[in-house]
Amino acid sequence: MNVLRNYRELIKLPTFKERYEYLRLGGVVGKDTFGFDRYLNQALYSSGEWKRFRNKIIIRDNGCDLAVPGRDILGDRIIIHHIMPLTVKDLKERSSAIFDEDNVVCVSFNTHEAIHFGDESLLPAEFKERRPNDTCPWK
């Protein structure tokens, strides 16, 4: 059964982990999404229309991974992830899902890979607040 997911529901989840679980697809490494039709999504992602849309989403999510405040994507290219994955048919028919703001979220490269392939080891480490003497082994 294909469960419909969206940004409005995603941002109600308070933690990065919960948002990851909500989006996780658990695909198979190496499985082609577009195969010989990869030119279709490459044409989309290099278009001016996509670049304008992408900038709008980055601003909306403050450049944060899974739109979680404080999880800034630093030193990495920001990826705009389609919550409900696009198909060849979507691209050929120019589906409204392509530019639907409720169908996209900012993610880092590693988070994107983890969502698609279900490998949590790829996720960025949780921030751990430092405490006095936490690096001193004899205290």
Average pLDDT over residues 44-70: 96
pLDDT band at 5 (very low <50, low <70, confident <90, very high): very high
Tell me phi and psi for residue 106, to 5 degrees. Answer: -75, 135
pLDDT band at 31 (very low <50, low <70, confident <90, very high): very low
Average pLDDT over residues 49-70: 96
Q: Structural domain boundaries of the chain? A: 33-122
Which has the higher per-residue pLDDT, 126 or 46? 46
Determine the Cα–Cα distance for residues 20 and 118; give it in Å rounded to an integer.
9
pLDDT at 54: 97
pTM of the model: 0.81
Place of tokens 């169908």: 103
| Per-residue burial over 23-37, b = 16 or more CB atoms within 10 Å of its CB, e = otherwise | beeeeeeeeeeeeee
Do 50 and 44 meet the contact criterion of CB atoms below 8 Å apart? Answer: yes
How many CB atoms lie under 10 A from the CB of residue 84?
A: 17
Determine the Cα–Cα distance for residues 16 and 114; give it in Å rounded to an integer.
13
Closest by CA position to 35, among listed 74, 91, 76: 91
